[in-house]
Structures are given as C-alpha cells and as structure tokens.
C-alpha cells in the first residue's frame, strides 16, 4: 500500500530551493520522503498536494480545537478585517478578548501577543521585573518556545545527556545561544518532589520563577502526580517566587479555564496561545493584578507591532465565544476517551505492551512498556522505533498522528463519532501490518 506523493515531492523539492530544509519550523521536517506539503483542511481532515486525505491528530501541534477552517471563526475574521487589520491603538475587539480570557481563566489582567514563544518570553521578564531575581526553574521534557532562555533540556534532548537526577545537566538544544544564558535556567525532573524542594531551598533568593507545563504537553502528555502542582504553588508562596503555568498547549483545551481549572491550582501568571484562536496567531499572558502591574512604560517592557491585531483577536473572540457557550470541551473529552479506550483494546488484543496516558483532548501513546512514566526520563523507556512504524502505517492509511511519540495526539470538536470509528478501524489494520512485518 503506497500513496501517490508525486506532486507533494515535487513541491517539496521546490520548497527546498528557497527555504532551509523546505520548512518554516524545524519540527516540520520529517526527511525528504516523508515531509508533506498540505494544500487544505476542513473539519477533522487535511489533504496533501496529491489529494490524499488524512484524519488529522496533529492539528498543527494543537491549536485547532474546533476544526480546520471552522466556518464561524473564519467568517468572524473575514468580517472584521474588512475594516482594517492594525492601528497601533486599542480596538474594541481586544477589550472583549481580554475580558473573555480573564473571565474564563480567572486572571485579573491580560496582555495579548501572537505566539507561545512571545508570551513565555515576556512572562519570564515580568517575573524578573516583579521579583528582582534572574534565574528560573523549568522541567526536563518541557518546551516553552524558541527564545534562548528556554531552549534547554526540552523533549528533543537525548535522555543519556541529562545527567543524574540529583545533578541534572542543562542540555542546550541549539547552537547560537550565548554561553551565559544557561546560568539562568535550572532544569529538574518533573514530578520529583524531593529534588524540587531541595533546589528551591538552596536557590530561592535568586529564583524569579518556576515555569511549568502543568502536564507534559511536549512529552506524550505525562500527568502531574497528585499534589505536584500544589507543591510547586506552596514553594512559590513560601519563597516569593512567581509561578508561571505555560498553558500554551493546555489552555482552552483541557478546560475552558485550562489547567488552572482542571487541576484546581491557580498560578501567578499563565501563558496561552494555540487553542485560543483555533489556528489563527493569537496569544495571551494572564495573571494576578499585583504581578501584571509591573508592566508599563519605563517599568517592564511588553509590546509588539502586531499584538492585538484584528486577525488574531477576531479569531479568539469567535473561538472563545463558542467554547463558552457550547459543550465543546466536554464533547472532546467523551470522544477522546472512546479513542483512547479503543486504541488500548486493540493493542491489548494484539499483545503489544503499551500505555495510553494524558487527557482525552491531548493524549500520548507509548509502546513497548506498560509502566506509565512520571517524567521525561521514564518516558524514554518506550519503543520509539515501533511507535514510528505504527505512525507511518497509520499515515499511509489516512490517519495522521505525529511520527514522533513525544508529540501527543490532539482532538478537536470535528472529530465526531464516525471519525473516531474510522480511526479505530484503520488503527486495527495498521497494528496488524506492523505485527506482521516485525
């Protein structure tokens, strides 16, 4: 079974003439044979340049919460941009979106941005400006965007390079980062209560922030252990450290109020992007009044030419209105649970050890082990090669998870019952093929 990818390959060769590796984000390069060129999307589906159709579980790395090209969002944007797109003045739509984000997430104050990278970078600056301290803790396997401060020990780090648990090494994920930057970040294993407590006690006087993805959205959706987020909250309170929840993947996806609502822990600052605009560029930092009020002219710098642009805010206005008024996330949970259960049953029948972890709107599948990981180090005990073969067999048959098991499966409202049933049929066939070819 082989797809026709003639047009796709031809376009990709052309892309490589002008764009390094033919992609505008390194994560999109899967090798010369497997990198797709996609021409359109609708609901739960995308099509490549050869008109092969895929049920999409990558959802652009998470932003699509309603469906590709979701008409009410697209129409709101189209309507709004007729009157211009950017004014360098506050517009009514910005006010409405800030109010919605505040109401849905419990933030006192909200500033808007365009991407996750932009808001995690600004959130760190706000925390530094507020505390007068410079270093911060993040956790291994977490990705917070492309700025220099956070490109250490992300999910791309080989586990053998992370050092011992008691003395973790900051693994730099790119050349071009100034040498001194690594001093500002301390990476720790997720869910390691003892190591966290020791580190905070030793370094609190220099710690501006603890930045955490409340679940490991860049490492298969590993969940926080009971009490873990509460422990971080307690240590931040005790030592005057700013708690930043990076909700770029969890925000407006696992609950309308994101991980803060789902896990019942309130951060000082939370960063949002992805699902907030159903695929349009929009992001936000929401936080407590006391912390957010350090932003200002001559105080802590935050801004940008495109912050609050009409395209992004109109999309967020429509997306958040739909999330607030319709049972979107509840429905995604139900259907996602059916999919997780179905996948688990098929793998059990096939005798393949596995765990299906995370939450239905963002879940991970680990093959080759039935021990659930609690941090990125444990996660690396799975059989990545088997996962990749299964993912490729699925893609060949029109079901598209990421080929890399660290990237979770994402669900959206357009994955209806029929789409889930079709996915499970294809999944069963793909498992049989992978077993046969083993």
Ligand X SMILES: Cc1ncc(COP(=O)(O)O)c(C=O)c1O
Interface with ligand X, residue 378, by CB under 6 A: no
Nearest to 336 by CA among 239, 252, 408: 408
Name the catalytic one among 246, 268, 375, 402. Answer: 246
Neighbours of 256 (CB within 10 A): 18
C-alpha span between 271 and 313 (Å, rounded) = 16
* Residue 335: both structure tokens together: 């259907």
Binding pattern for the stretch 41-80 against ligand X, x by CB under 6 A and - elsewhere? --------------------x-------------------
Nearer to ligand X, 210 or 352 (CB): 210
Binds ligand X by CB under 6 A, chosen from 37, 73, 248, 259:
248
CB 401 within 8 A of CB 394: yes
Binds ligand X by CB under 6 A, chosen from 52, 191, 218, 278:
218
In the complex, least distance from residue 113 CB atom to ligand X, rounded to whole angstroms: 9
Helix 417-436 and helix 328-349, axial crossing angle in degrees, nearest 10? 20
Decide if 379 is catalytic. no
- Strand extents, DSSP E, 267-353: 269-272, 283-287
DSSP H helices in 213-305: 228-239, 258-263, 289-292
In the complex, least distance from residue 242 CB atom to ligand X, rounded to whole angstroms: 17
Interface with ligand X, residue 153, by CB under 6 A: no
Name the catalytic one among 138, 231, 249, 274. Answer: 274
CB 382 within 8 A of CB 366: yes
Nearer to ligand X, 248 or 323 (CB): 248
Decide if 378 is catalytic. no
Binding pattern for the stretch 258-277 against ligand X, x by CB under 6 A and - elsewhere? ---------------x----
C-alpha span between 316 and 314 (Å, rounded) = 5
Decide if 45 is catalytic. no
The interface region with ligand X, picked from 70-78, 81-89, 139-147, 305-313 by CB under 6 A, is 139-147
Burial of 78 (0-12, 13-18, 19+ CB in 10 A): exposed
In the complex, least distance from residue 25 CB atom to ligand X, rounded to whole angstroms: 8
C-alpha span between 138 and 186 (Å, rounded) = 6
| Partners of 283 in the β-ladder | 113
Binds ligand X by CB under 6 A, chosen from 58, 109, 138, 144:
144
In the complex, least distance from residue 154 CB atom to ligand X, rounded to whole angstroms: 10
Q: Which residues bind ligand X (CB under 6 A)?
A: 61, 115-117, 120, 143-145, 213, 217-218, 246, 248-249, 273
Q: Which residues are catalytic?
A: 143, 246, 274
């Amino acid at each position: 079974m082989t797809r026709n990818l003639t047009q796709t390959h031809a376009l990709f060769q052309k892309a490589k003439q002008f764009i390094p590796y033919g992609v505008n984000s390194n994560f999109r390069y899967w090798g010369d044979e497997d990198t797709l060129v996609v021409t359109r999307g609708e609901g739960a589906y995308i099509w490549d340049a050869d008109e092969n159709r895929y049920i999409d579980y990558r959802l652009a790395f998470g932003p699509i919460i309603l469906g590709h090209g979701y008409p009410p969002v697209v129409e709101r944007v189209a309507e709004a941009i007729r009157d211009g797109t950017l004014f360098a003045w506050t517009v009514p739509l910005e006010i409405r979106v800030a109010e919605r984000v505040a109401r849905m997430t419990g933030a006192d104050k909200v500033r808007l941005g365009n991407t996750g990278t932009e808001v995690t970078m600004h959130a760190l600056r706000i925390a530094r400006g507020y505390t007068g301290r410079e270093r911060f803790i993040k956790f291994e396997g977490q990705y917070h965007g492309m700025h220099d401060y956070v490109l250490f020990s992300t999910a791309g780090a080989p586990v053998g390079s992370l050092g011992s648990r008691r003395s973790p090494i900051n693994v730099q994920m790119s050349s071009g980062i100034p040498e001194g930057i690594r001093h500002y970040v301390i990476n720790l294993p997720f869910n390691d209560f003892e190591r966290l407590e020791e580190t905070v006690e030793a370094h609190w006087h220099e710690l501006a922030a603890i930045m955490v993805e409340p679940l490991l959205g860049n490492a298969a959706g590993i969940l926080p252990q009971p009490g873990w987020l509460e422990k971080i909250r307690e240590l931040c309170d005790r030592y005057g450290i700013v708690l930043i929840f990076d909700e770029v993947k969890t925000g407006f996806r696992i609950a309308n109020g994101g991980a803060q609502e789902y896990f019942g822990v309130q951060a000082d600052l939370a960063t949002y992007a992805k699902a907030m605009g159903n695929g349009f560029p929009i992001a936000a930092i929401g936080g407590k009044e006391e912390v957010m009020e350090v932003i200002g002219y001559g105080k802590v710098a935050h801004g940008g030419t495109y912050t609050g642009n009409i395209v992004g805010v109109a999309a967020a206005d429509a997306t958040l209105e739909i999330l607030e008024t319709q049972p979107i996330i509840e429905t995604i949970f139900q259907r996602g649970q059916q999919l997780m259960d179905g996948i688990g049953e098929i793998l059990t029948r096939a005798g393949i050890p596995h765990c299906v972890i995370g939450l239905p709107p963002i879940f991970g599948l680990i093959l080759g082990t039935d021990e659930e990981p609690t941090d990125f180090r444990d996660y690396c005990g799975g059989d990545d090669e088997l996962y990749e073969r299964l993912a490729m067999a699925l893609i060949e048959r029109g079901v598209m998870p990421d080929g890399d098991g660290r990237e979770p499966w994402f669900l959206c409202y357009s994955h209806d019952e029929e789409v889930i049933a079709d996915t499970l049929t294809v999944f069963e066939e793909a498992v049989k093929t992978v077993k046969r070819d083993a």
